[in-house]
Copies of this chain bind each other. A is one copy, B any other.
Amino acid sequence: MRKETSSNALNEKKINATCGMGYALSLIGGRWKSNILWRLLNSDKLRYSELRRLIPGISERMLVSQLRELEADQLVLRVVYPEVPPRVEYALTDLGKSMRPMLQSISDWGEMHRKVTAED
């Protein structure tokens, strides 16, 4: 049935994309996407099982669904190798790679202020 891989979250209502920020955040928001994107930015290409191991708390359901959404939003490319046992690799598309500066600036701000506000 495919449920039409509902791309990102602002299809109907959801995030107010009054400014582009709402749109961008709808793509990277949620609990897992930023983590997934971050891994792919640093590893350039990863297998499903590698992602599972890299992201400790994630369930299979979530990993798959988030990857599918990222794929539908054209941020991530999914490559299936018709082998046995099966092998599937995920990599960033050009669009996904174009997020690097944005993600980097988010990461930078976070790294810089995490210690200040929440002295861990």
Contacts and interface: CB of A to CB of B under 8 A. Distances in A.
A80 interface: no
Given A25-B34, A29-B29, A106-B25, A20 B73 contact: no
Interface in A38-97: 38, 55-57, 73-74, 95
Chain A binding surface, main DSSP class: helix
Interface residues on A, range: 35 or more
B117 A16 contact: no
Nearest to A14: B31
A1 interface: no
21 contacts: A13-B57, A16-B32, A16-B57, A19-B34, A19-B35, A19-B38, A19-B110, A20-B107, A20-B110, A20-B111, A20-B113, A22-B35, A22-B110, A23-B110, A24-B110, A25-B28, A29-B29, A95-B113, A101-B105, A102-B105, A105-B106
